[in-house]
Structure 1
Amino acid sequence: MTLEARAETSAAPAQASSPRWSGVALMMGSGLSNQVGASIAALAFPVLGPAGVVAVRQWVAAVVLLSAGRPNLRSFTAAQWRPVLGLAAVFATMNLTLYAAIDRIGLGLAVTLEFLGPLTVALASSRRRIDLACALAAAVGVVVLTRPRPSTDYLGIGLALIAAVCWGCYILLNRAVGERLPGLQGSAAAAAVSGLLYLPLGAAVLWLHQPTVGSLLCALAAGVLSSAVPFLADLLALRRVPARFFGIFMSVNPVFAALIGMLVLDQYLGAASWLAITVIVTANAVSVGTAASRSEKETNLLR
């Protein structure tokens, strides 16, 4: 083999692996940006409250998605508008309940409990033994996280669980919207409707609370870091890594949330809570990874 041939052979794996590594970097950046944005949002809670911060975030998300999706709203049919309106309502409720939960029980615990939404969707239709084991493991983790203590904030836990239900509904509605509308038009329309829903609430909060420059900057930064950056980063990452790998990597978000909550907000979790988060994250990674691997094998057999 000539030197030129050897160079081409050795360069091929490097070129093939380059997109994968850039995809990992994008996913890492997306997860960190999302949780850093949530922690910065929490800094504005004393002035604007969760509702005020969520309103600003929804407006930022609407601007970003409308710019990217450019939906032709006048051409939407009633059958297309129904899931879009449902998605808008879920989107608005999910963010409000999550931020209210973060305000009461902290970033790490709130995001971990919210993460039960997509995990439940992934496990609900499965009859595999490994998924049953993952569900039981996750349930044990939730029991540990929400175990009764003198300082337990049951309202905060309830808000986080409502956010989890909303996230599960968000996934299902997104599928319906994707089937009825091309590209990002459905998501962009839902973000626009959600932003409109928050106009009266956001205006009232901003009028009554007299926001400071710092709190407004924190709310805007939260919108950019938790909406715009993850959206673009995830879009680019999915072009570089398999969907299965993307789904597994999403599992680290509760860990990011707990770490950033500790570093930015001084919210420290005990050893039992860290163990419970690890169990829930592992259960999701195993369930998503094995399901996608099995799907790939079945697809290959049918070819």
Structure 2
Amino acid sequence: MHPSSSPSPLPTLALIGAMASLCLGTSFAKTLFPAVGAQGTTAYRITVGALILLAIWRPWRFPLTRSQARTVVLYGTTLACLNLCFYMALRTLPLGVAIAIEFTGPLTLALVLSRRVLDFIWIALAAAGLLLLMPSGVSAHQLDPTGLAYAAAAGVFWALYIIFGQRAGSLHGGQATALGMTVAALITLPIGVAHAGAALFDPSLILAGLVVGVLSSALPYSLEMVALKGLTKKTFGVLLSLEPAMGAVAGVIVLGEHLAVPQWLAIGAIVAASAGCAATARRRMPPAPAPAKTD
């Protein structure tokens, strides 16, 4: 048997690590909202991450074709919009609700790309878990419509991020992530400065922003690029169903939030769907000597 016939666990492990880092970073990031707002926190997250990745990867060493540059711009733009919309949603929505609504984007993408009955079983299990994860006692009438709209928009941009991220994943090493984050920083930093003003440059807040940038951007997006190179969009999308579960666990550990029995059942359902998807996913075909693949 050819050695490459056994899929490497590295892409899956990289995605799990990315989600764990992202959940911890998001829990900490929300504490900055009173000082610099969702816009300023997004600017911290993206700009700090971009500076770190630029220093590590030095992406200017490798020239880009016009097509690659266009892909990086699209990747960076969706990255900026995804982060900004999600943090704007967190201003008025509980974290679990915002993540659950946001996840409808990659879940829909996984559904569109599915062809086997087994795929739909895992997706249905993940969807059931997401519904259970909604906090008890929170009805649609109690949720802020603006927050819901921002969370839904974040879901759309998350699906686009998966698509453009895979296209950008054909670039050298961390070049795509570094350049994409730089594009995103050029979009979000002016918005953050316009909202937070001088507070954004407070030394103590900058230190907190550094932590947010590392945990929420530099580390997870680098790991996600590793995952995007080795997973199909469908598998990537369903495996991301682990993120709401990880967010709930992070809430227990970091914030001392209480989870009811239905929420723990939801975590079990989501983890089962993710594990099932990873175990039954078809192997990727060997890459052809053609332009960047999008699947």
1:42 aligns with 2:30: yes
Match for residue 111 of structure 2 among 123, 126, 132 = 123
**Greater shift in the superposed pair: 250-259 or 219-228:** 250-259
CA contact (8 A) 1:88 1:194 kept: yes
Q: Cα deviations across residues 126-145 of structure 1 (Å, max 9, x unaligned)?
A: 21111223333444445553
Match for residue 53 of structure 1? 41
What letter corresponds to residue 256 of structure 1 in structure 2?
A: M
Gap change, CA 1:33 and 1:178, over 3 Å in 2:
closer
Q: Cα deviations across residues 230-272 of structure 1 (Å, max 9, x unaligned)?
A: 3566688999xx869x968754332221122244345445444
1:156 aligns with 2:147: yes
Match for residue 185 of structure 1? 175
Match for residue 207 of structure 1? 197
* TM-score, length-scaled by structure 2: 0.74
* Unpaired segments ≥5 residues, structure 1: 1-18
Structure 1 Cα separation of the partners of residues 115 and 222 of structure 2:
35
Alignment of 1:46-195 (within 5 A): 46-72=34-60, 75-142=63-130, 145=134, 148-179=139-170, 181-195=171-185
CA contact (8 A) 1:84 1:186 kept: yes
Gap change, CA 1:281 and 1:121, over 3 Å in 2:
farther
3-state SS of 2:142 partner = coil
Structure 2 Cα separation of the partners of residues 169 and 110 of structure 1:
18
1:165 Cα deviation (Å)? Answer: 1.7
Q: Cα deviations across residues 89-118 of structure 1 (Å, max 9, x unaligned)?
A: 100011111122223222233233333333
CA RMSD of aligned residues (A): 3.7
Q: Cα deviations across residues 203-249 of structure 1 (Å, max 9, x unaligned)?
A: 2233265665544333221111112333566688999xx869x9687
Gap change, CA 1:286 and 1:169, over 3 Å in 2:
same
3-state SS of 2:172 partner = coil
**Greater shift in the superposed pair: 89-98 or 30-39:** 30-39
Match for residue 4 of structure 2? none
What letter corresponds to residue 118 of structure 1 in structure 2?
A: P
What letter corresponds to residue 194 of structure 2 in structure 1?
A: A
Match for residue 291 of structure 2? none
Gap change, CA 1:176 and 1:233, over 3 Å in 2:
closer
Gap change, CA 1:261 and 1:159, over 3 Å in 2:
farther
Match for residue 254 of structure 1 among 244, 256, 259 = 244
1:219 aligns with 2:209: yes
Structure of greater Rg: 1
CA contact (8 A) 2:50 2:218 kept: no
1:288 Cα deviation (Å)? Answer: 3.6
Gap change, CA 1:210 and 1:65, over 3 Å in 2:
closer
Structure 1 Cα separation of the partners of residues 264 and 146 of structure 2:
21
Question: How much identity, in percent, do the aligned residues show?
Answer: 34
What letter corresponds to residue 162 of structure 2 in structure 1?
A: I
